Amino acid sequence: MTQQIRAPWMLAALAALMTTLVLGGCATPPGSADALARQTEAQIELARLQEKEARAEYNDQGVYLGLIGRMQQEGMYYASLAHVDAFQKKFGSNTALQVLRADALRETGQDDAALQAYRDLLNTDRAARARHGMGLVLGRQGDFMRAAVELRQAAAIDPVNAQVANDLGYALMRGGALQEARVPVMQALELDANNPRAISNAVVWMLATGKRSEANAMMQRAAMPEPTRAAVRKEADRVAKAAQQREKAAPRGTASAVVNSHATQAVALNAGARP
């Protein structure tokens, strides 16, 4: 990445499987001994790099920020928080550092602090990242419609960001807004056609909307292993149920109901979309 922002509110099993999906074959499962060994080796190598380059890197703001970003790419969010504090004491703050802090707070489960850190960035050049991050926090909390609001704003600021489009599509699907989800889901797929998460989201949408032949064809082209296909089907069932609940909750018949429909749907969807 360009640092990746993960969607922590995707199904844990599905997310794990998605990360192993490789076009043309399967990667080693993330919980295997080989995968854990590679993760350990990566952390050891990063520690060696830090020690080797500490004097030079910690005295160069740009390189130090890059080091913190690499820590986060390796999943070392707690360590990155300590280095964010160290950087701020040495060089002061800037918007790049604030984003790293907000992402680390989000990934270490400090949701309230993360939301505030993102809000502090809304009037800066990092507004798209801030809206995206807020959407991820709200989605993890099960508030998919509010998450979609933030992700829509992120997409408006950064319209060619495949990750934002993908997360927006997923939030809308989990909120039961299948037709609204179609455009961002397909945008993400076309913007980043080899991304396993974009492929999986597209397959979920196809299955949930009854396009089974297209979904099966896409899974075949992507060489999805059967465990991944099973997880995707399970997710599609959950999305289809959310859509049914949304349809039942939609008010009908009176002008006042139409006026109040958005608020009513949001309450119903938030209740219905939670696991």
Q: Are residues 167 and 91 in the same domain?
A: no
The 3-state DSSP class for residue 274 equals: coil
pTM: 0.72
Q: Are residues 169 and 270 in the same domain?
A: yes
The number of folded domains in the chain is 2
Do 68 and 83 meet the contact criterion of CB atoms below 8 Å apart?
yes
Kindly state whether residue 18 falls inside one of the protein's structural domains: no
Kindly state whether residue 150 falls inside one of the protein's structural domains: no
The confidence score (pLDDT) of residue 271 equals: 33
**Domain boundary pick from 47, 82, 108:** 108
**Domain boundary pick from 108, 124, 152:** 108
Distances (CA, A) of 119 to 86, 124, 144, 185: 22, 10, 18, 26
Distances (CA, A) of 146 to 152, 201, 248: 10, 19, 20
**Domain boundary pick from 75, 90, 108:** 108
Which residue, among 123, 175, 126, 124, has the nearest Cα to 149 in the 3D structure?
Answer: 175
Distances (CA, A) of 275 to 30, 106, 247: 24, 20, 18
The confidence score (pLDDT) of residue 262 equals: 38
Q: State the 10-residue block means of pLDDT for the chain, 275 residues long.
A: 44 39 39 69 69 62 92 94 94 95 97 98 97 97 96 97 97 96 97 95 97 96 95 96 90 44 36 34
Q: Are residues 178 and 262 in the same domain?
A: yes
Q: Are residues 178 and 265 in the same domain?
A: yes
Kindly state whether residue 52 falls inside one of the protein's structural domains: yes
Kindly state whether residue 223 falls inside one of the protein's structural domains: yes
Domain of residue 84: give its range.
1-10+29-108
C-alpha span between 81 and 30 (Å, rounded): 25
Token pair listed for 89: 């004491």
Q: Are residues 186 and 254 in the same domain?
A: yes
Kindly state whether residue 128 falls inside one of the protein's structural domains: no
Q: Are residues 168 and 70 in the same domain?
A: no
Kindly state whether residue 71 falls inside one of the protein's structural domains: yes
Q: Are residues 88 and 168 in the same domain?
A: no
Kindly state whether residue 51 falls inside one of the protein's structural domains: yes
Q: Which residues, at least 6 apart from 91, have a Cβ–Cβ distance to it below 8 Å?
A: 61, 64
Kindly state whether residue 115 falls inside one of the protein's structural domains: no
Q: Are residues 99 and 168 in the same domain?
A: no
Q: Are residues 165 and 249 in the same domain?
A: yes
Q: Are residues 1 and 95 in the same domain?
A: yes
Do 246 and 175 meet the contact criterion of CB atoms below 8 Å apart?
yes
The confidence score (pLDDT) of residue 2 equals: 42
| Cα torsion 150, 177, 166, 112: sign | positive
Which residue, among 180, 124, 117, 119, has the nearest Cα to 150 in the 3D structure?
Answer: 119
